[in-house]
Amino acid sequence: MTQPTMPTRRKALQFLAGVPMLPLSASASAALLSACGGGDGDSSPSFVSASFTSMAAPTLATAAAMATTTVGSTLNLKLSDDTVRSYQLAYQPFFVTGDMVSDGKGGTVLSGGYYDINNKPIIDSTVADKARQYFSDAPDGTSLLTVANPTVTGIKGKAVFAVVQFEYTNKAQDGKTDMYGKLPSPIAVLTLDQDQTTGKLSLVKYHNVDTSKVHGLWITCGASLSPWGTHLSSEEYEPDAFSIASNTMFQAYSQNLYGDAAKANPYHYGHMPEVTVNPDGTASIKKHYCMGRISHELVQVMPDNRTTLMGDDATNSAYFVFVADKEKDLSSGTLYAAKVGTGFSIDPKATTAAALTWIKLGSATSAEIEQFANTLKPTDIMSVVKADPSDTSYTKIVANGKTEWIKINAGMEKAAAFLETHRYAAYMGASTGFSKMEGTTVNIKDKIAYSALQNCQDSMVAGNAANVPGNGISIPKKLGAGAVMALNLKGGQKDTKGAAINSEWMPVDTKALLAGEDITADALGNTANPNNIANPDNLKFSEKMRTLFIGEDSGQHVNNFLWAYNIDTKQLSRVMSIPAGGESTGLHAVDEINGWTYIMSNFQHAGDWGSIHNVVKATLDPLINANYKNKSGAAVGYLTGTPSQMKLS
């Protein structure tokens, strides 16, 4: 018999976090016994499964809901006594970027604010007499974590930390000046006070991380939490070193960071930064130069603490895996790129998977590749020409959507592998044919990784100029709405030269799990089915809930959504709607911290209008402006239970 109940927020979150792997607290156990009619000697019912109801997509009938974060989903937990506990969900922001927040020292600091290499605020002077510090409208990757023996003052409950990175800002305050990629990405540590009665997280300190020792950060996008509790960041769209002299965006970045348009070195960007939080709510940061210089979206470290599957958000991207030499240490190891076998498909109904074999690109330490980055020019590593040189010493490749002919200079294979990774992977025969490979995550129990393809177009489509015939990645027509791929993970693998790969977590095949659906524009403007995923980006998997969370970065949904997909029941549920024109970011599924469960979620660039917004723009634009600082602000926060619900007893 099913008996739905609506417990308090504390019981909801604490119960979910406590089962099935952790015991319930005494108070929660007593409450559950009381609710179930239990007495002395009885035991609490055990957790069986979790599911989410699917909220309706907002429409102009509820225009206010289209212009903010809207949550209309319920989390249902099935228990071993056939009862169901139901918990309404809500969104709780810590701040909207541009808010002044506590610096933990009695003062305030600008959330999402930008700083130069000397940690001085970068000033936006595009509006006369209204100069202000630049701040981001694009918060992205977030990690929620704890640190042993925290020392931050002002904590009444328990200290929890969130690391939040800010990808870029769209426009200067004049609303006209394009600022994408022209500012060094900030990254912040939030010290949060976790109320031990309610589970609520409250911001008590905001600390901007000093990134000067790693030359600043370049377009930080998705992120993940390492198994050892560090924040693994990203730098996507690595600047092309061969065309850097004409790259005005990179020159503006260098000017804003260093005060010198020519000082920034492109080889210092496109790497994988790692942030370690200190007990006092500050942090240190380093870049791992040995993990390949690619369009890092985010990485997923496997449970062996060594094997890392990396998203590569580029045209002509590839599956890359880094296998570290030592556990919990990404400063040295071996980089591999995949070759895709026959049968590749983005159709979830396909019965077979395409095999993956692995090409070793090289082994290196971060220190030696950083030294290469410090000292080498691109022409020291290879020659690149755009027209056929009619010279057999050159190899034809396609990189970043463009056909090139390259020649590796003698003795420069290692530098090429780690500083010109896209070109070198193509040169070595890897399948560099995906388009916009985004988030990655892992289902540990089933030993399956998931990888998002935001769209399946350009280099993936047979006949396209960027497609490489014979590389295994070729679909008959574009699917703009994208797909989520599932990759089986196994040990005992060998690279293409027969050498053993020292990992038990290597992807051995790839098969579509979910796919979006392109449609003719509907009455609201959607060009992808609004009742299905579109342009998946952020991915995170909850082991306890057996649920894959999917955040969208869609130019095909009028509102982007956060979805929950139960991999056992195959139920896809819309959990949250993002403000129209915004992207769902910062996803992090946290099964348990001090007895509570959270789903971290941000959004970015609300009101970034495209042609699909023509129907809604006039109505929603003033609402977005009122909610989010004339489109210059965006929220950082989390999903949790609503604060007022029925009591158990």
**Confidence at 647, pLDDT banded by 50, 70, 90:** very low
CA dihedral 328, 334, 339, 344 (to 10 degrees): 0
Q: What would the mean pLDDT of 331-356 be, rounded to a whole number?
A: 97
For the cut 50, the answer to whether the pLDDT of residue 15 exceeds it is no
**Confidence at 625, pLDDT banded by 50, 70, 90:** very high
Q: DSSP class of residue 583?
A: E
17: nearest Cα among 173, 194, 169: 194
Give the sign of the dihedral formed by CA 213, CA 214, CA 218, CA 224. Answer: negative
- 581 sits in the region (left: phi over 0; alpha: psi -120 to 50; else beta) called left
266: nearest Cα among 302, 232, 325, 215: 215
Amino acid sitting at position 102: S
Give the pLDDT confidence of 62-74 residue by residue, as tens digits.
999 999 999 999 9
For the cut 50, the answer to whether the pLDDT of residue 284 exceeds it is yes
The predicted structure's pLDDT at residue 642: 63
Strand-by-strand arrangement of the 70-71 sheet: 70-71, 572-577, 561-566, 547-552, 536-542
Residues recorded for the chain: 649
* CA 373 vs CA 241, 247, 549: distances in Å: 11, 19, 37
Tokens standing for residue 594:
């001090």
In three-state secondary structure terms, 548 is: strand
Rounded Cα distance between 199 and 182, Å, is 39
For the cut 50, the answer to whether the pLDDT of residue 311 exceeds it is yes
Percentage of residues in the chain having pLDDT higher than 90? 88
**Confidence at 339, pLDDT banded by 50, 70, 90:** very high
**Confidence at 319, pLDDT banded by 50, 70, 90:** very high
Give the pLDDT confidence of 627-640 residue by residue, as tens digits.
999 999 999 999 98
Who has greater pLDDT, 646 or 366? 366
Using a 10 angstrom Cβ sphere, with 0-12 exposed, 13-18 middle and 19 or more buried, the burial of residue 128 is exposed
Give the pLDDT confidence of 243-281 residue by residue, as tens digits.
999 999 999 999 999 999 999 999 999 999 999 999 999
Containing 232, the helix (H) or strand (E) segment is: strand 231-232
Tokens standing for residue 641:
């239970």
The predicted structure's pLDDT at residue 87: 86
Q: What would the mean pLDDT of 601-615 be, rounded to a whole number?
A: 97
Rounded Cα distance between 241 and 557, Å, is 35
- 77 sits in the region (left: phi over 0; alpha: psi -120 to 50; else beta) called beta
The predicted structure's pLDDT at residue 238: 96
Rounded Cα distance between 645 and 649, Å, is 12
**Confidence at 13, pLDDT banded by 50, 70, 90:** very low
Containing 288, the helix (H) or strand (E) segment is: strand 283-288
For the cut 60, the answer to whether the pLDDT of residue 368 exceeds it is yes
Who has greater pLDDT, 314 or 25? 314
Are 646 and 6 in contact by the 8 Å Cβ rule? The answer is yes
In three-state secondary structure terms, 27 is: helix
426: nearest Cα among 409, 410, 444, 404: 404
Q: What would the mean pLDDT of 379-402 be, rounded to a whole number?
A: 97
Rounded Cα distance between 642 and 649, Å, is 18
579: nearest Cα among 93, 88, 200: 93
**Confidence at 56, pLDDT banded by 50, 70, 90:** very high
Are 627 and 64 in contact by the 8 Å Cβ rule? The answer is no
The predicted structure's pLDDT at residue 37: 34
Containing 221, the helix (H) or strand (E) segment is: none
Q: What would the mean pLDDT of 375-397 be, rounded to a whole number?
A: 98
Give the pLDDT confidence of 514-550 residue by residue, as tens digits.
999 999 999 999 999 999 999 999 999 999 999 999 9
Who has greater pLDDT, 644 or 316? 316
Cis peptide bond upstream of 20, omega within 30 = yes
559: nearest Cα among 623, 505, 497: 623
Give the pLDDT confidence of 550-599 residue by residue, as tens digits.
999 999 999 999 999 999 999 999 999 999 999 999 999 999 899 888 99
Q: What would the mean pLDDT of 406-414 be, rounded to a whole number?
A: 98
The average confidence (pLDDT) of the chain is 92
Q: For 603-624, give one letter per residue: b (16+ CB within 10 A) or e.
A: bbbbbbbeebbebbbeebbebb
Strand-by-strand arrangement of the 402-408 sheet: 382-385, 402-408, 395-399
Rounded Cα distance between 246 and 268, Å, is 18
Containing 378, the helix (H) or strand (E) segment is: helix 378-381
Q: What would the mean pLDDT of 309-337 be, rounded to a whole number?
A: 97
Amino acid sitting at position 567: I
Q: What would the mean pLDDT of 125-131 be, rounded to a whole number?
A: 96
Give the pLDDT confidence of 199-234 residue by residue, as tens digits.
899 999 999 999 999 999 999 999 999 999 999 999
Give the sign of the dihedral formed by CA 173, CA 177, CA 178, CA 180. Answer: negative
Give the pLDDT confidence of 142-200 residue by residue, as tens digits.
999 999 999 999 999 999 999 999 999 999 999 999 999 999 999 999 999 999 988 89
For the cut 50, the answer to whether the pLDDT of residue 312 exceeds it is yes
Rounded Cα distance between 189 and 21, Å, is 29
The predicted structure's pLDDT at residue 198: 87
The predicted structure's pLDDT at residue 46: 83
Q: What would the mean pLDDT of 453-460 be, rounded to a whole number?
A: 96
